[in-house]
Chain A
Amino acid sequence: MTEINKEPKIIGFLCNWCSYAGADGAGMARRKYPPNIKIIRVPCSGRVSPELVMRTFMQGADGVMVLGCHIGDCHYSDGNHRTAKRFPVFHRFMDYMGIDRGRLRIQWVSASEGLLFAEVVTEFTESLRNLPPMRGQLKSLQRHTIAEEIQG
């Protein structure tokens, strides 16, 4: 039986201009959402390197959110285009590492979308409750997939 993850631990990397302000907006409007997400402010979602996300998983995070401005609305004109291109590739790396793709969420949240932010965080938190805790999986991650590859 898979272990149930009652309280998934989530790190959110939020761009300063849209998504962080959107999360502030959720606060100002008192929109409730689960406390599982811990927010880290970055200037642009384009600043979030795949290594930073990987490092976060390796620290035992059950989920990572990378939130940025909507395409076209980026404060740095098109920094988020890099995010949009980078993470589909990173998803394939997650497959290789044996990390469920559902643990990483890329989403565009504008400064006025506090409600959307609260909804996305709630939904993401709930979805992670169905996955086993990340920390228990860490040791088996790479070995498992490489072993599979050798057998296959």
Chain B
Amino acid sequence: MKIGVYTCHCGSNIAAKVDCEHVAEWASDLEGVEISRDYSFMCSSLGQELIQEDIQKLGLDRVVVASCSPHMHEPTFRGACQRAGMNPYLCEMSNIREHASWVHEDRGEATDKAKALIAASVSRVRYHEPLFPKQAPVNDATLVVGGGVAGIQAALEIANAGYRVYLVEREPSVGGHMAQLDKTFPTLDCSACILTPKMFEAGNHENITLLTYSEVEKVSGYIGNFTAKIRVRARSIDEVLCTGCGLCEEKCPVRIVDDVFEAGLGRRKAVYRPFPQAVPKYPVIDREHCTYFLKGKCRLCEKVCPTQAIDYEQQDRVLEVEVGNIIVATGYDAFDARRIPQYGYGRYPNVFSALEFERMTNAAGPTTGKVLLRDGVSVPKSVAIIHCVGSRDVRYREHCSRVCCMYSLKFAHLVLEKLPGADVYNFYIDIRTPGKDYEEFYHRLLEEGTKFIRGRAASVSDATLGEEEEGKLIVTGEDTLIGEQRRVPVDMVVLSTGLEPRHDSHNVARTFSISCSREGFFKEKHPKLDPIATMTDGVFIAGCAQGPRDIPDTVAQGSAAAARVLSIIGKGQVEIEAAIAEVNALTCVGCQMCIGSCPYNAIDFLEDRMVAEVNEALCKGCGTCVAACLSKSITLHHFTDEQLVAQMMGAMDTLFALEPVPMEA
């Protein structure tokens, strides 16, 4: 056996805490080690060539690279070995960066730990066996979950390339939050005007199967070959007959507060389309509020429908679709300002949330674009906009929501545009304008006459201190630039509520086998270099589901996710993990303990021979069957008992060998 050991300095990332030269020299004495080198950047092309040359010239048959996490560079070094003609599974990595140099202060300790980790890998790699991944064809259809701008963008990119897309949206129409907005910063484009063409295209594209009012219930399979179960909720409308004329909506006698699209500011009917440009054009009957479904009477919509499209008997359908890749773009929830009682949202009528204000300034909204107090008549003369509501606050959400500064500036601009001469106050902590033309927009606002008060607003109340404050809302807070408490009486308060993960993001994450960050945003494979992929191959994320971001970034991510999917479709084949379980039929006693332990029902019991057998297509390589097997007859390739015990022993033996000899007292 000829093992090559390569210790990476990673610039100073490792070398600052681990004496790499010493470690490399020390490792050359380990059993089986033919050559041990250290190099500044093993992942560089020169570093990889070093390995390739050694494999070819020295005839190495095992390689250990001591550098960063295998999550980072295992594919890199496996690739280098493969190029030199070695089976990639004969390469092993020691993680001496994330697990040593970055987490330990003492250079001696970190160096000793690196030695133990490398010795463990050298000991393990001796038991590695060549493995050969199988190829599986890729289904060229894609499931896009979430019909906001991210999902629409991704779906269009893939559909335009000529492949089938299933676009699933929970609400009755696609559009997401962007459809609710009035203007977009900093260009002040009309949000609906730039989104509607994309919505229309997604709804009418020959390659897009649009499933609104639907949710994905279950996903099984693996990259290239997923099966998704989608519940299409009953609209109570026959989509073949419905022309989208809107008569049913017009005549429906029920009026309820629309908490979703109108953010609670407006009302809708029981049979409704969330907004006039909704895609698809078909309304839905909200069975929780429809008089017929509640009391068994009414059926007015049925009477007025000119095409007999109302179908009260319609049932939910469950579709099963087969796709090769999945893009999850489920968006965000707006922070519920009721959680901060001192701002009085929900108690004082004239405290508005950001989404309410968006709907208010929208010409298609409940006030037809007029800025009005809650009574629907009075015009405010002064407006306070409070930034960072729920954001940048360890009591609620620690993160910065990234868009609130900019939309607050936009609000200030819109108030001044619609109510010239009004007093507009921005209570801000910092103004954050990272984006193209954003800082310029801020400067424009400074010139327009908005008053900026630096400091987190402490409270909003109606406790007045004199006649001039009568009937007003008093915003208090410290102006930290002048070091004084301020009391600002205003007619209207707008709370710039932050972006938070969807309330059910953890459940959605489980459905798609992806993970969430601490707050509940979906976790990307790598925060810098792979923000689109997840730990589950074939499942990608885009938009605010991954973290707060503005529209251009969201659109870019939608396209990026589509590009990733298209590259997999283009390749046509995926490699199926070779590290799967295998039963030794000679020693298996047929107890079937493994069958009960397998999460995938991937083990069959062969009745004729009374032994278990692993179904290679279903096995994902978790290894729970190995731990359950009573007769030690199951091997999980690449994580065999021998390999793990050897790795453990390599570490333990080194630890004892490095222990200082106790001094005699």
Q: Assess whether A41 is interfacial by the CB under 8 Å rule.
A: yes
Chain B CB within 8 A of A146 CB? no
**Contacting pair A28 B100 (CB below 8 A):** no
Complex: A43 Cα to B638 Cα, angstroms:
10
Q: Mask for A48-79, Cβ within 8 A of B = 1, else 0?
A: 11111001100111000000010011111111
The residues in A between 24 and 48 inclusive whose CB is less than 8 angstroms from any CB of B are 24, 26-28, 30-35, 38-44, 46-48
Instruction: Give me 9 A-to-B residue pairs in the complex whose CB atoms sit less than 8 angstroms apart, sorted by A's number.
Output: A17-B515, A24-B72, A24-B98, A30-B102, A41-B70, A46-B597, A47-B624, A55-B648, A86-B627
Question: Among the listed stretches A93-101, A107-115, A123-131, which one makes contact with chain B, having 4 or more residues with CB under 8 Å of it?
Answer: A107-115
Q: Is B105's CB within 8 Å of the partner chain A?
A: yes
Any B CB within 8 A of the CB of A18: yes
Q: Is the CB of A47 within 8 A of B627?
A: yes
Is the beta-carbon distance between B103 and A21 smaller than 8 angstroms?
no
Instruction: Report whether over half of chain B's contact residues are helix, strand or loop; otherwise say mixed.
Output: helix
Asked if B112 CB lies within 8 Å of chain A CBs, one says yes
Residues in B90-128 with C-beta less than 8 Å from chain A: 95, 97-100, 102-106, 109-110, 112-113, 116-117, 120
Contacts of A39 in B (CB 8 A): 95, 99, 117
4 closest cross-chain pairs (CB), A and B: A27-B98, A47-B623, A46-B624, A49-B627
Do B647 and A40 have beta carbons less than 8 Å apart? yes
CB–CB A38/B636 < 8 A: no
CB atoms of A79 and B104 under 8 A apart: no
Chain B: minimal CB distance from A29 (Å): 9
Given contacts A40-B644, A44-B623, contact A32 B105 (CB under 8 A): yes
Q: Which residues of B contact A (CB under 8 A)?
A: 69-72, 95, 97-100, 102-106, 109-110, 112-113, 116-117, 120, 509-510, 513, 515-518, 523, 527, 535-536, 579, 597, 599-600, 620-624, 626-628, 636, 639, 641, 644-645, 647-649, 651-652, 655-656, 659
Decide: A47 near B120, CB < 8 A? Known: A11-B652, A35-B112, A59-B648.
no
Q: Are B535 and A82 in contact (CB under 8 A)?
A: no
8 new A-B contacts at CB < 8 Å, known A23-B98, A44-B622, A82-B627 = A17-B535, A35-B104, A35-B106, A40-B644, A49-B641, A56-B648, A76-B600, A112-B515
Residues of chain A lying within 8 A (CB to CB) of residue B97: 27
- Does B655 contact A9, Cβ atoms closer than 8 Å? yes
* Interface size in chain A (residues, C-beta < 8 A): 54
Which single member of B510, B579, B641 contacts A52 (CB below 8 Å)?
Answer: B641
Chain A residues in contact with chain B, CB under 8 A? 7, 9, 11, 17-18, 20-21, 23-24, 26-28, 30-35, 38-44, 46-52, 55-56, 59-61, 69, 72-79, 82, 86, 110-113, 118, 135
Whether A76 touches B652, Cβ cut-off 8 Å, given contacts A24-B71, A118-B103, is no
| A113 close to B518 (CB less than 8 A) | yes
Closest Cβ of chain A to B638, distance in Å, is 9
User: Could you tell me the distance between the alpha carbons of A26 and B644 in the complex, rounded to whole angstroms?
Assistant: 23
| Assembled-state Cα–Cα distance A17/B621 (Å) | 12
Alpha-carbon distance between A7 and B655 when the two chains are bound, in angstroms? 10
Nearest A residue to B513 via CB reads: A75
Contact A110 B117 (CB under 8 A): no
Q: Within the complex, what minimum Cβ distance (angstroms) separates A83 from chain B? A: 8
Which of chain A's residues have a CB closer than 8 A to the CB of B639? 42-43, 47
Whether the pair A31, B651 counts as a contact (CB closer than 8 A) is no
In the assembled complex, the Cα of A50 lies from the Cα of B629 at a distance in Å of 11
* B71, A38: Cβ atoms closer than 8 Å: no
A18-B515 CB under 8 A given contacts A46-B622, A47-B623, A79-B624:
yes
Which of the residues B109, B516, B628 comes within 8 Å of A35, measured between beta carbons?
B109
A24 pairs with B647, CB closer than 8 A: no
Closest-by-CB residue of B relative to A113 is B518
Give chain B residues whose Cβ lies under 8 Å from the Cβ of A43.
579, 621-623, 636, 639
Q: Which residue of A lies closest to B525 (CB)?
A: A21
A36 to B381 alpha-carbon distance, docked (Å): 65
CB neighbours of A55 from chain B (8 A):
645, 648
A50→B627 contact, CB < 8 A:
yes
Q: Which chain A residues border B600 with CB–CB below 8 Å?
A: 76-77
Q: Which residues of B contact A35 (CB under 8 A)?
A: 100, 103-104, 106, 109-110, 112-113
Check A38/B120 contact, CB under 8 A, given A24-B69, A43-B636, A47-B626. yes
Given the complex, which residues of A lie within 8 Å of B69, measured CB to CB? Answer: 20, 24, 27
Residue of B nearest to A61 (CB): B652
